[in-house]
Structure 1
Amino acid sequence: MIAVDGGPQQVKGGAVGVRSIARERSLDICDSDAVLTAEDAANFLKLSPRTLEKWRSEGAGPPVLRMGRRIAYARRDLVRWLAEQEARGRKESSVRDELEVTCRPYFKDRTRQHVDIHLTHPLDPAQPVRRRIVAPVGMDAVAATEWGRAEAFKLYRELCREPAKVDNVERKEGESPKHPNHNTVKTLAEFWPQFLAGHVAELKHSSKLNYESAWALHIREVLGPIRLDEIDEKLLSRLRKRMRQELNLSYSYTRQICESVSVALRYAQSEGELPKGHDLPELTWAKQRKPKVEVYSREGLERFIAVAKNEEERALHLLLTDGALRIGECAGLMWKDISLSEHTMEVTRCVSRGVLQDTAKGEDGVVPLSPRLVEALRGYRPRGDFVFVPDGEYSPHSFPRERREYVLEGTLGMRVRRAQGLARLAVYGPHRIRHSVLTLLARMGVSPYALQALARHARMATTMKYYIHLNQGELAAQAVAALADPDAFGNAKATRGNTPEFTLLT
């Protein structure tokens, strides 16, 4: 039964065992390891070759492939035979009698489906296996459920291929498969350096600093001594409560810290530090009302440009307005990135917390130059490779390592704040100028795709959610005006038969 009201969508397959799944989704015989020799088959089943030989003479055991004088076994036959033996021993299927495939909209992307699969481990019946996966793009609930059933068989086949291990944890003789040796599971404090070296090291400098501060200030004290497999929703909720109630930190910052822990746990699972079937904790977050953001008017932005004291400040102000650059990208801009003849600039680097990065703050891209920005850049030509240089000489590469804490973007930011005050604007900092420019362009009817290209956002959702602060009343007025248009519901001159007919209810 599938619910279509946006809630959980569940399909129960009845008595769906491995044999019925195998009939629907049989193994491809063309796989390189689909046919095994007698010795390999014995190793697969954890039996001696003599046992298989005895069974062949008695006509028992798994089905045999005879190729002349040679004996072989199909891996799919071994998997089915294992399922049958386990079902005969326990009077039930090796997968739970009702294979449940739960499907619901994915919370990060409502156009996709989140599939939850439950089955029983083929070699350890007491151990349930759960897998949460996101269905491919374009699948509805029914298609995602069928896809999830196929993934369930793949998972079962994968579990059968390594009978000596259960969820990547070696078992010792006499040890319960459901409770592996706890000494093999690291604490979060023991695993964190591995997480920093393997995952965080690949991120941008600002992200590295965020992870380091999150660990030192909040995560280490609460979750550091806890084993990875013991971190659950209750412990994450304790971290959230401490940050929100005891430290009075913001909702967004608290959520960012908790998400850092979730990222570390997902990486631990990918590295085999956590069992594959282990349920990772997920907190439920209350929906927050988005605060209203005040943006500058077009007249205010023109006043901001006009208060520039020299050509350098005018170039900076125009890069923030006409170029919609971030302040760190202005700090990292070099003259070789600018083509005055072609009226373009390439944004490929930025300065973040005093460190020059070889990527932009957002997506790298080419931004056209307005005529007045071209004129301002032509009139401003300081020495050096960088467009903006404090005290006339700045090159991050020439600074010794101990002096790289010099924050150029902070220097430019203070100059922008001073100019905002001189222009009689509320002093919000340089990034509010970028917000205002994109919002004004949106109100003028500029295509969202053009705004995304100018802002260099990787996702359209970022452009619409964070930077376009439109007046909802203005949007509603546009909709009503379109509704009042006599041609709003089609061309009145269209001939009968080539367009649907509408009846207006009065």
Structure 2
Amino acid sequence: MAKKQIPAGARKRPGGGYEWRFTVEGVRTSVGATNIDDLWTKHDERAAEIKAGVYKANKAITVNEYFHEWLERRQPHIRGGTMYHYKTVFARHIAPIIGNVSMKKVERRQVLAVREKANKSAGPSAANKSIILLKALFKAAIQDEILIRSVADGVKKIQDKTKRPARETIHRELSNEELRIFFKYSRRSQYDPIFHFMLYTGMRVGECGGLEWKDIDWKRDVIHVRRTMSMGANGHIGLGATTKTTAWIRDIGMNTNIHTILSSQWELYTGTHGKMVKLSDPVFPSPGGHRITSTSATSVLLNILEQAKRHGEPLARFGTHAFRDTFASRAIRAGMPPNTLKEILGHSSLSMTMDLYAHVSEEDKKKAMKALEVIDL
């Protein structure tokens, strides 16, 4: 019979699931699981390992061994993409240097070596991600009573002085001329409706890939955003059961432009499928009939930029997110209340909406200064 009671010494984690710290034959250890049945199973397995003498005690456990133990406990509480990110950073930058070192014997200079070698081989971003992961790992080791202090404390991230702000690169508003040139060359692509759709709705490309016909409410003129394409723990991109966060779950009203795009997509779909309509089919399928992903959409976008360049109309490089940025900035400029924009974009905070997406153009600043001319002192 399943054991449904929370065992003595176990606790519910704030983010969900359970953790159980216990001692077997003088060895202090802990296990984590999403439900009580699995918690008991892992407890019994760990206890058997200790009794058989095959479990690594705190004083002997290596960075590599503890990382995988820590990751197993974290798995129920993090997304697949985050899991893949942790594994990749650890394997590339941490394991080669300190993976076989005992957790208790890691020195600060070794942490610095991880940072410097990651910076040299892959740049500041990789170096900083390695330090962030090590700090999280050592913090958990303190909670597990393996360490008294973290040798990663005080190790600063590398400042990349050459890196431009995100709002000037990834998050960039496109001008009317840039949009004119881009759509001139995208119109023959099957992705053209998707690019327009992102520009008119502010939706992320993964959300467009996850959009199904059952999400289109024709009677109420509303789009239900309920899921997104996301990366799994194996690094592959697939359809998630839901969106990234609860804030991403939202409804977006249709205007004429949006309605026209969706109507055209419906005509194409029904013209191909006839009476074999499935409401779970994607609204924006790829040319091969699969779901679009950020990778595929970016590849098509870059090809379009290259076409424009070959025809003597070069465009400064941008990504699919630029359509979302352009939507947000123009919505603010058109007078949309910031809190309304926050809900449409699916942000959890207003500051994120305003700081990251509501760009201020040179023309905005000129108009603001001209407005001060009416002040009569």
Q: TM-score range by the shorter chain?
A: 0.5 to 0.7
What do residues 275-296 of structure 1 show as CA deviations (whole Å, max 9, x unaligned)?
4x66762322365556143531
Change (3 A) 1:263 1:319: farther
Confirm or deny: 8 A CA contact 2:200 2:258 kept in the other structure. Answer: yes
CA distance in 1, matches of 2:370, 2:112: 45
Contact 1:438 1:451 in 2 (8 A): yes
SS at match of 2:203: coil
- Letter paired with 2:285: V
Q: CA RMSD in A?
A: 3.7
How far apart are the structure 1 equivalents of 2:351 and 2:190?
Answer: 34
Higher strand proportion (structure 1 or 2): 1
Q: Deviations over 1:400-433 (max 9, x none)?
A: xxxxxxx744333333334455665444232222
Within 5 A, what are the aligned runs for 1:72-87? none
Give the Cα–Cα distance (whole angstroms) in 1 for the partners of residues 83 and 95 of structure 2: 16
Matched residue, 2:68: 193
Deviations 1:310-335 (A, max 9, x none): 79645312321011122222212111
Tell me what 2:126 maps to: 253
Higher RCO, Cα 8 Å, sep 6+: 2
1:458 is matched with: 348
* Residue 281 in structure 1 maps to residue 159 in structure 2: no
2:241 partner letter: D
Amino acid at match of 1:322: Y
Q: 1:288 to 1:415 in 2, by over 3 A?
A: closer
Q: What are structure 1's unaligned runs of at least 5 residues?
A: 1-164, 169-181, 396-406, 487-503
Return the match for 1:388 from 284, 302, 306: 284
- The reply to whether residue 210 of structure 1 matches residue 85 of structure 2 is yes
- The one-letter amino acid of 2:349's match is R
My pick for the range that moved more, 194-203 or 356-365, is 356-365
Instruction: Within 5 Å, give how 1:86-235 maps onto structure 2.
Output: 184=59, 186-231=61-106, 233-235=108-110
Shift of 1:197: 1.2
Aligned to 2:140: 267
Q: Give me the whole-angstrom Cα distance separating, in 1, the residues matched to 2:366 and 2:158.
A: 27
Higher helix share: 2
**Pairing partner for 1:298 from 176, 193, 202:** 176
Q: 1:272 to 1:344 in 2, by over 3 A?
A: farther
Matched residue SS, 1:341: coil
Instruction: For residue 201 of structure 2, give the secondary structure of its aligned residue in structure 1.
Output: coil
**In structure 2, C-alpha distance between the alignment counterparts of 1:183 and 1:377, rounded to whole Å:** 59
Aligned length: 297
Equivalent pair of 2:116/2:127 in contact (CA under 8 Å): no
The CA deviation at 1:354 is 2.5
Q: Residue 332 in 1 paired to residue 210 in 2? A: yes
Unaligned runs of 5+ in 2: 1-25, 30-56, 231-235
Spell out, residue by residue over 1:252-298, the C-alpha distance to the aligned partner (whole angstroms, 9 max, x if none): 332122212222222333344434x6676232236555614353113
Q: Following TM superposition, by how much is the alpha carbon of 1:338 offset from its aligned partner in structure 2, in angstroms? A: 1.8
Partners in 2 of 1:211 and 1:316 — Cα distance?
Answer: 31
Would you say the 8 A contact 1:205–1:355 is kept in 2? no
> Which of these residues, 321, 339, 342, is aligned with residue 431 of structure 1?
321
Q: Do the aligned residues in 1 keep the contact of 2:106 with 2:151 (CA within 8 Å)? A: no
Cα distance change of structure 1 residues 457 and 426 upon mapping to structure 2, 3 Å threshold? same
Give the match for residue 52 of structure 2: none
Instruction: Name the aligned partner's letter for residue 284 of structure 1.
Output: K
Which structure would you say has the larger Rg?
1
Looking at structure 2, the residues matched to 439 and 284 of structure 1 have their Cα atoms a distance apart, in angstroms, of 34
How far did residue 465 of structure 1 move? 4.4
Aligned in 2, Cα 1:393/1:286: closer, same or farther, shift over 3 Å? closer
Residue identity over aligned pairs, in percent, reads 19
Match of 2:5 in 1: none
